[in-house]
Amino acid sequence: MVSLNDVLRARRVLDPHLPATPSWSYPLLDEVAGRRVVVKHENAQPTGAFKVRGALNLMAGLDAGETVVTYSTGNHARSIAYAARAFGVPAHVVMPAGAAEFKIRAVRALGATVTLHGANMAEAEAHAEAHARTVGGRLVSPGDEPAVIAGVGTAYLELFERHPDLDTVVVPVGSGTGAAAACVVAAAVAPGCRVVGVQSSAAPAAHDSWRSGACVRRDNRTRVDGLATGRGFELPQKILRDLLADFVLVDDDAIDDARQVLSGSAHTQAEGAGAAALAAVLARPDLMGERVAVILTGGNATPAELSR
Ligand SMILES: *Cc1c(COP(=O)(O)O)cnc(C)c1O
């Protein structure tokens, strides 16, 4: 499926594009959490989120002349647009008709073509599929892409090299590429470290898929963008089934609280999805061990999040 070698190859691909992101501890945060917490700052990426790693690795593997089509309103769209620009690949992003203006602008500013279509993400997905068939473009899935998982895995190589003694790494889950990548890398280079996933209780599709052993659909009522998926994805779920140690749910209010803790104790801005790992540590200290890393997956807080 995806091996450590794939992640090592991705690191060579990403090296000219992205420096390693910092990972720090903060005494005040450690005090609040009652243990040492390492924060891996993927909010320091040029797109504000970790997904750019996977998108760059995917783009590097395309054949000459290929174009890409995808669907997303958030960080997936931004990362595809950023990586497409870096490799000179034409990119087309379909967003639901009601997508927020600032999200559309962020993707257009990176040079991608944006089409607004459909009442929700499922309709945007169907339109993107049809468009990809029509123009002969490569449809990029937000979850079922081995090159994306391998690219995202480079974050975990960086983390375990700097912090080889971690008991637990906590990863926010939407489609599951980040958590699957963490599992692949931890199993190979930090086998003593447990990987724990976290999702919003208001959109538990990946959690319920992992618990039941089959990809299921669930209502998606979370206000946390990066975790808002309505279904489990096959490839990450296969990896998680073998390697994930545990999977917890936190509610959206706890995620808001964790954003505030990161702002007050670690002087850093997280979007909701980016704070979910800390929310899990604060909610379930019993599961975490003494030395914990949280992946601050993104910092693109919405205007609504910022005003809350
Ligand atoms: C996409 C995203 C996630 C979830 O990652 P998956 O790989 O889809 O599980 C978490 N946090 C942020 C900020 C994201 O953009």
The per-residue pLDDT of the chain, averaged, comes to 96
Domain boundary among 82, 116, 140: 140
CA atoms within 13 Å, Cβ hemisphere of 254? 18
DSSP letter assigned to residue 73: S
Statement to judge: residues 169 and 203 lie in one domain? yes
Q: Which of 140, 163, 182 is the last residue of a domain?
A: 140
* Residue 49 Cβ < 6 Å to ligand 1: yes
CATH code of the domain in which 234 resides: 3.40.50.1100
Same domain for 115 and 78? yes
Q: How many domains does the chain have?
A: 2
Note whether 127 and 152 are same-domain residues: no
On the question of pLDDT at 13 being above 90, the answer is yes
233 and 96 in a single domain? The answer is: no
pLDDT digits (tens, 9 = 90+) for 109-145: 999 999 999 998 889 999 999 999 999 999 999 999 9
180 CB near ligand 1 (under 6 Å): no
Collapsing DSSP to helix, strand or coil, 60 comes out as helix
Kindly state the tokens that stand for 188: 């190979």
Q: Are 166 and 129 contained in the same domain?
A: no
Model confidence pLDDT, tens digit, residues 164-179: 999 999 999 999 999 9
Does the beta carbon of 118 lie inside 6 Å of ligand 1?
no
Please indicate whether residue 271, judged by its CB atom, sits closer than 6 Å to ligand 1.
yes
Q: Which of 34-38, 65-69, 97-101, 157-161 has the lowest mean pLDDT?
A: 97-101
pLDDT of residue 301: 94
CA angle 89/91/93 to nearest 5° reads 165
Same domain, 169 and 195: yes
**Last residue of some domain: 108, 140, 172?**
140
Nearest atom within ligand 1 for CA of residue 178 = 7
Same domain, 156 and 291: yes
In 34-176, alpha helices (H): 52-60, 75-87, 101-109, 121-135, 146-152, 154-162
The boundaries of the domain holding residue 20 are 4-50+146-307
Q: Which atom of ligand 1 is nearest to the CA of 299?
A: 13
The CA-based diameter of the chain, rounded to the nearest angstrom, is: 56
Provide the CA 239 distance to its chain's centre, in angstroms: 16
Name residue 292's beta-bridge partners: 37, 168
Q: Tell me what pLDDT residue 122 has.
A: 87
Predicted confidence at residue 121, as pLDDT, reads 84
Confidence of residue 17 (pLDDT cuts 50, 70, 90): very high
